Structure formats: structure tokens, C-alpha cells
A and B are shown apart, each in its own frame.
Chain A
């Protein structure tokens, strides 16, 4: 089975954003990056499917040269090769633009199954997977917690809201967006890291003239919905003040 995993490089969770001068994007030079967490679960699921059914896992990513960091990491964890649609303009791409960037190069590969995370930890559109599936003309299902392949048929467990689930069957080729927690992640071994250095990363130029579907007119720190009372002092002092306020002011104890 020929499996693609679309991964995105996103700022680390610890990163504190700083705005650029016109306040429409963040200051890129301040950012440290990591693999988008739901995409890491998608990669792990692809590796498990390969172990079960054979075939290869191809990691695909759209972005500037820096995204090679997470491509190398995916190769070190066990992906066989990579496809990198490289362009500096993809650094802040919306989901539509990213899917369009990967569309042609991925169509040529004729993947049986495409996996990606259910949303990204940076822009969080939760659109990329279904958009790419529609561009490729293949069926999709989202927020998946279990993947079963039987010949050319796919049966997946889709997460619904409030603790409900549903199985859905569809033919391959297909695209799935993977929910965090579907499996337990493996980490790269030293051997994997060494092997990754020899693996192929095919670079493809981004298609020209793709217009973004979204324009960020302003980026800012969120407005508070509540007046938060910040309690300061040593742990003992803060604990004392918090408990006092919960008893006397909020009356919840």
C-alpha cells in the first residue's frame, strides 16, 4: 500500500508569539518549530499500516526550506521518502493554498491512502484534509480514531461529539484526518536518524498564481472575556489568598 502523510511544521507550544510591524503575522525569526502534533499521530498510524500491509510511507509537506526539519524527523521515525513542495510564500499559507500547492505533485504519485492531522496547531483551520481530498477527487472522512484496511476497502472509526463514535466504510483511494490519541507515538532512534540522512527528499516547485482565500487584516492578543483576579505571592501566600477568595468572595467552598 502506498501511503502519504501530510505533515506541517508549526511553532512549538512554549513559543510566545510576537507580532510583525504591520500586525498581520508573527515575527518568524523568533520562532522555534516542531511537527504539528495531530500530524505526528497520522504518521504513526501510517507506519503501523505499513507494518501490517507492506508498502511505503511518503511524507509530504508544503512550506519554506525550514520545513525540512520536520521532514527529516518523519524520515527518522520510519517514513521511506519525502515530497517537499518548497516556496517561501507558503510560510503563512491558508489550508486552500497548501492543498493547492501539494495537489499536482501528490496526484502524480497515485497514493492509495492519504493521512494527515485533523487540524494544525498554528492556524487551526481544520480544512486542509477535506480540501485536498476534493481536489484529488477522492473520498474523505475526518477526526478518525481507528483505521482498518481490507483489500481496497477502508473502514474507519470516526469520532463524533460528546463521546459518540461511528464506523464509516469507503473505497480506496481515500483521505483521512487523524485525531490525536489514536495510537502511541514512537520516537526516532539513533539508527533511524542515521538512516534518514540517506533517504530521498524530492523537491517540487510550488504552482504559480495561487490566490489566498483569506486575508488577515489584523492579528492581536485575545480580548479577555472576564476580569481575572491574578493572585500573587509565594505559593503559601497565594494558596491562602485563593482559598480565602473562593470561600468569602465566590462562595464556592
Chain B
């Protein structure tokens, strides 16, 4: 049996949970779904469309902490005794799943993009070396094995609904509050500016290949010529060359414009998850092996400092 740990916040299901259900269904084993938090009843009944659901409801789970989630989920997993535990590779999963797997002394394979084979002998494909290679990995040692599924690798709308809604049961768990060490405060957004890149029709996005802050002007001119918003990959914003609000990727905005031009962006997975839904993707990069070319519709290998002015000139014709 596969146990899928769905993720919710304030009673709203994280859609990556459905992607994880879709991945689990490819493994051709019976599936149960667990969802943890406080007052998760309505999320649990929504999830019952896909199979039997274990609602893990506790006041100590109202605001996420790794200590409370590990305590609760360890009990749920031990009671359900699955062969595999699948989770969406969200920031929350990244925070608690290594601790949970270590406490249970079990294998954890993260950031999986494809499943191969079925059942206990399945292997899991995951990116390595910044996406330059893919590895098929088999978790080792006693089950359950933990596997996290990369956001966007499976389609939520391919998760098949059960012929009849599954049963919702409540997990019988106890949480020792004296062992909860982290005290979380309320989540917040930094002072909000008006940049909503998700509404842009065209985006020119700039990466490490631009080399210096002075050269940002090159990307700016190209964006202007395309009638596009200017955006960036994480390292550009880390360096302060463009404000954080223009960052595309898992820690920034997710966009799907008509046209996405990746200028000097290698295409680390954290960036790809934020833009691979774009309708037409153009990659301009000196390195023909860069992972960005895997998602590109049009690729130009070359020096962006020669190509950008040539494209600007061509667009003005």
C-alpha cells in the first residue's frame, strides 16, 4: 500500500498533493491519503474522491512545526504500515521529511520527476548535478520508503478519481507538546510591490550568464524590444542586481506567459518549476548542454552579448 501525505494550509489543499496522487497511481498499488493539520475535515472529504483518507487532526498541528508533524506522521505511518510514503516536494515536506525518515531509520528519495516499474521494485528518476543528469534511484533497506515528488512533474488533472468516494477515518495520535522545540510565528509577505509577473504576456528573464550588474541593461533593452516584463533567476536577485520581486522560480513567482525568453539562464530545477508552463520558451545560452534547452521550444546557442543586440535590431524592423 502507498500512503500519500497531502499538504493543506488553512483548510485549502495544496494542488501539488494531487500531482503526488497521480504519481502514486502510476505505481499500481492500493493508495491511502493522509492529511495533517487542525480542522482538516473538509479537505479530507475532498480528498476522499481519490480513495480512503486518514484525517490527522490535532491542535498542535494548526501551525506547522517539523517536531509536531514528525511525531504525528510517525504514528500514522506505523499504524497504516505502507510500503511507500509519497509526499509533494514542497518547502514544508523538505523541512520535515528528512527528520521523519531518519527517526524511522528509513530511506528517503527526494525531488522525483518520474516513476519506473511498479510496486516494491519501482525505481524513481530524479535530477542530479543541477539537472545536467538524471538518476534512476532505488531506495534501500526496510520499508516504508519515503519518496518526494517534484512540483509540476505530474499533472494534477491526471489523478484518477475512485468509482465511489473513499472512507474518511480519524487517526488516533497523541502529541507530546513538551517535545515541540520550534515556535512558529505567522507567515508574512515582504512589503508588496506592484509587480505581478503572472499577468505578463511576455517575459524576458535573465540569469547568471549576464555576468555583471552593468549588463542588466542589455536584458532590459531586450525586454523593451519584446514588449516584455523583465524577470530573473534567483542568483541575479541574490546579488541584488534586480529586486527579489522579479524572481521566477520555486522561491519567487510562477508564471506561464505566451512568450518566455530565458537569457543566460542555465535552467536549475528551482527555476524551471516557475516557468515551464509558458506557452513558447526561447533559450539563449552559450552552453548547449544547459538544462534550459530541455524545456525550450526555440534554442539559440551563442554569446548573449552578440545575440541580444541582433534580436533588438531585428524586432525594430
Contacts and interface: CB of A to CB of B under 8 A. Distances in A.
Interface stretch (B79-87, B122-130, B162-170): B122-130
Contacts of B183: 168-170
A125 B140 CA distance: 15
A122 B65 CA distance: 28
A225 B101 CA distance: 31
Interface in B236-263: 237-239, 244-245, 250-254, 258-259
B141 A211 contact: yes
A121 B297 CA distance: 26
Contacts of A122: 128-129
Interface residues of A, number: 80
A38 B252 CA distance: 17
Given A124-B111, A166-B186, A243-B311, A96 B299 contact: no
Given A126-B110, A164-B187, A166-B187, A140 B294 contact: no
Contacts of A252: 202, 258-259, 279-280
Interface string A105-139: 00000000000000001111111111101110001
Interface stretch (A49-57, A64-72, A216-224): A216-224
Contact of A131 (B102, B253, B296): B102
B302 to A, nearest CB: 6
B216 interface: no
Q: Is the interface of A mostly helix, strand, loop or mixed?
A: mixed
Contacts, number: 256
A215 B91 contact: no
A125 B250 CA distance: 16
B303 interface: yes
Nearest to B272: A225
A190 interface: no
Interface string B280-307: 1111000111010111111111110011
B102 A179 contact: no
Contacts of A214: 107, 109, 137-140
Interface string B117-155: 000000100011111111111111100000000000000
| Band of interface residues on B | 35 or more
Contacts of B106: 213
Contact of A134 (B102, B138, B280, B309): B102
Contacts of A181: 234-235, 237-239
Contacts of B252: 162-163
B58 interface: no
Interface in A76-115: 95-96, 99
A17 B306 contact: no
B128 to A, nearest CB: 6
Nearest to B301: A230
A142 B302 contact: no
A64 B32 CA distance: 43
B300 A17 contact: no
Interface of A: 11, 13-17, 19, 26, 95-96, 99, 121-131, 133-135, 139-143, 159-171, 174, 179-181, 211-226, 228-232, 235-236, 238-240, 242-243, 245-246, 250, 252-253
24 contacts: A11-B129, A16-B132, A96-B102, A96-B107, A123-B128, A127-B98, A129-B98, A131-B102, A163-B251, A166-B185, A181-B237, A213-B108, A213-B139, A214-B140, A217-B136, A217-B138, A222-B133, A224-B294, A226-B297, A228-B293, A228-B299, A229-B298, A230-B299, A250-B279
